[in-house]
Amino acid sequence: MKKQLAVVDLETTGLGKSDRIVEVAVVLLAASYGLQAVESVTRKGCDLVIAADLASMSGKAKTARDWGIPVMSVQDFRKKLTGS
């Protein structure tokens, strides 16, 4: 089975230390469910973008939408994986 690839795009550059902790937690949660975090959005190398803000217009989120790759909020991602 092909490993699913996810981009974690939390827009943490320049924010507080706790924002970086959230990003790491999302990467670890994804890994625990068999998702591999990748750095960039590509047509064949990304199955999902996890964004801090679902309305994000970051380059990664925009590229994902343009290519039909789902963009999911951190909260929705957590609910989908854990059911809570």
Residue spans of the domains in the chain: they are 4-82
Top-tier CATH class for 4-82: alpha beta
pTM (two decimals): 0.73
Contact between residue 68 and residue 40 where contact means Cβ atoms under 8 Å apart: no
Distance CA 27, CA 50 (A): 10
Contact between residue 48 and residue 35 where contact means Cβ atoms under 8 Å apart: yes
Q: Mark 23-54 as b/e (b = at least 16 C-beta within 10 Å).
A: beebbebbeeeebebeeebeeeebbbbbbbee
pLDDT at 29: 81
For the stretch 19-66, pLDDT in tens is 566 677 778 888 888 888 888 888 888 888 888 777 877 888 889 899
Does residue 18 carry a pLDDT above 70? no
pLDDT at 65: 92
For the stretch 3-15, pLDDT in tens is 666 666 655 545 5
